[in-house]
Amino acid sequence: MLESTDRAAAITLNKVTVRLGGRLVLEDLSLDIPRGKVTAVMGPSGAGKTTILRLITRQIRPETGTVRVGETQVNQLKGRELGRFRRNLGVLLQNGALFTDLTCFDNVALPLREHTDLPETLIRRLVLIKLQTVGLRGAAEMYPRELSGGMNRRIAMARAMALDPDIMLYDEPFAGLDPISLGVSLRLIREINDAQDTTSVVITHDVDEVARLADHCHIIADRQLIASGSPAELAESDHELIRQFMGGHPDGPVPFHYPAPDLAEQMLAGQAR
Ligand SMILES: Nc1ncnc2c1ncn2[C@@H]1O[C@H](COP(=O)(O)OP(=O)(O)O)[C@@H](O)[C@H]1O
Ligand SMILES: [Mg+2]
């Protein structure tokens, strides 16, 4: 891959290598996330997608290589700077649970109460606007357990954007959603991106949905970036690996099995569990 030097990019990973628990997870990976767009990071399960998100939020640091967000060299952040940096990232985690003992209103208000000194009257207005954006102002005083999974996801979205971050990061936002909730989520991600001029990163293995949403896609496999382009460009690709992935075919260059010792040998050695 080319070395990343695109200053217009909101996020740049440059020759990043990550090892976790002794396993090489990403190797010499470079990619740009364009500003103001919705970018999908796709790839088979275990490819390293969530790892990329954790690099961006500086939960982990690469062994080698750099991560830049805006003008910030993320690897060098410490203490208070890191806190300030993270406030500008809206993160919707894969299992991003709400606080069950707080109402929807209080869940969304939490980051505002924690990170700003705004008076309660203003917080109230901001929270109601966010709830309105996700279509759940009417559920402000309800508790998460009283709402469907899809609605919970939307409350979590409202909470993630409470501080009006420049960047929204979504990890598998469509997992487990019924088709209607899924359509609502797709539309919301797009609307939030366009209305607030946000940069959005959507991590997903859900190829069909992404084709309806993303401006730009990166495909990760084998610890590396194997392709980038618009959904239409990738759908046209004749690269075997990309075709396998875009077509959702089980057989192809991406192996079905997680790397493991030879089964017969392992059984004979009496180590199989
Ligand atoms: N803390 C960890 N220790 C060891 N291996 C890890 C750790 N976190 C993730 N991995 C491994 O790194 C690889 C990539 O993980 P991840 O980024 O979560 O994949 P994806 O989100 O694409 O499904 C997987 O093989 C996973 O098992
Ligand atoms: Mg993941």
* Range from 30-34, 43-47, 64-68 carrying the lowest mean pLDDT: 43-47
Is residue 103 a contact partner of residue 141, using CB atoms and an 8 Å limit?
yes
User: Does residue 213 lie in a domain region?
Assistant: yes
User: Does residue 195 lie in a domain region?
Assistant: yes
pLDDT at 59 over 60: yes
User: Does residue 268 lie in a domain region?
Assistant: no
- Give the residue whose CA is nearest to atom 24 of ligand 1: 46
Q: Which domain holds residue 109?
A: 9-239
**21 close to ligand 1 (CB < 6 Angstrom):** yes
pLDDT at 43 over 60: yes
Q: What total of structural domains would you count in the chain?
A: 1
- Give the residue whose CA is nearest to atom 27 of ligand 1: 46
**How far is 102 from 141, CA to CA, in rounded Å?**
9
Q: Is 195 exposed, middle or buried (0-12, 13-18, 19+ CB in 10 A)?
A: exposed
For a substitution probing ligand 1, which of 51, 57, 206 has the most ligand atoms within 8 Å of its CB?
Answer: 51
User: Does residue 256 lie in a domain region?
Assistant: no
Question: 104-150, pLDDT tens digit by residue?
Answer: 999 999 999 999 999 999 999 999 999 999 999 999 999 999 998 88
Task: Give the number of the ligand closest to the Cα of residue 94.
Answer: 2
Give the pLDDT confidence score for residue 1 in this predicted structure: 42
**47 close to ligand 1 (CB < 6 Angstrom):** yes
Closest CA to 215 of 196, 202, 225: 202
Percent helix / strand / coil, the chain, rounded to 5:
40, 25, 35
**46 close to ligand 1 (CB < 6 Angstrom):** yes
**261 close to ligand 1 (CB < 6 Angstrom):** no
Is residue 185 a contact partner of residue 159, using CB atoms and an 8 Å limit?
no
pTM of the predicted model over 0.75: yes
User: Does residue 271 lie in a domain region?
Assistant: no
Burial 135-145 (b: 16+ CB within 10 A, else e): ebbebbeebbe
What average pLDDT does the chain have?
Answer: 87
**How far is 3 from 74, CA to CA, in rounded Å?**
18
User: Does residue 270 lie in a domain region?
Assistant: no
Residues whose CB falls within 8 Å of the CB of residue 81, separated by 6 or more in sequence, listed in order: none
Question: 208-228, pLDDT tens digit by residue?
Answer: 788 789 999 999 988 999 999
Task: Give the number of the ligand closest to the Cα of residue 175.
Answer: 2
**How far is 188 from 99, CA to CA, in rounded Å?**
22
User: Does residue 2 lie in a domain region?
Assistant: no
User: Does residue 34 lie in a domain region?
Assistant: yes
CA distances from 61 to 114, 165, 202 (A): 26, 22, 21
Burial 210-226 (b: 16+ CB within 10 A, else e): bbebbebbbbbbebbbb
Domain CATH number, residue 108 = 3.40.50.300
**54 close to ligand 1 (CB < 6 Angstrom):** no
| Higher per-residue pLDDT: 202 or 208 | 202
pLDDT at 258 over 60: no
How many CB atoms are located within 10 Å of the residue 44 CB? 17
Written as one string, the DSSP assignment of 50-73 is HHHHHHHTTSS--SEEEEEETTEE
C-beta pairs of 229-235 under 8 Å, 24+ apart in sequence: 231/40, 235/211
**225 close to ligand 1 (CB < 6 Angstrom):** no
